[in-house]
Amino acid sequence: MMRKPIKTEADYKAALARADAIFDAKSGTSEGEELESLVTLIEHYEDTAYPIDLPDPITAIKFRMAQQGLKQKDLVPYIGNESKVSDVLSGKCPLSVAMIHKLINGLGIPAEVLLQQPDAGASRKPSEKVYQK
């Protein structure tokens, strides 16, 4: 069955209902192929209609710390001495390229999160860089 793009909330709800109805379809069958198409269309609609913003870099670091039960001193290998870690986590000091690289590799924080502009409005001028060399 050829599906048209999902453009409205009503289309979206209908697509979800149909996907639910054929959820157990076997791969390679016509219903299986329909389900695969529906999932692609549903994902595209959700990405467009309900975008999820990435967390700012500092929030992501703090979240990873909480996930792994880390304390500030545990970030020393990635960021520098404890004073530098404190400055970075408080927003007083930007992440450097070296820090970002170590956080990506060491803690698995995605590059797209760490390389984005932090949500620091008042504490950083628009012309200032997010990271330094």
Residue pLDDT, tens place only, 91-102: 999 999 999 999
The encoded tokens of residue 58 equal 């500092």
CA angle 17, 37, 20 (to 5 degrees): 20
Position 118 scores a pLDDT of: 54
**Which fold would CATH assign to domain 57-132?**
434 Repressor (Amino-terminal Domain) (1.10.260)
CA pair distance 109, 112, nearest whole angstrom: 9
Position 116 scores a pLDDT of: 87
The predicted model gives 33-47 an average pLDDT of 96
pLDDT band at 119 (very low <50, low <70, confident <90, very high): low
Q: Which residue ranges make up each domain of the chain?
A: 9-49, 57-132
Whether 132 shows a pLDDT value over 70: the answer reads: no
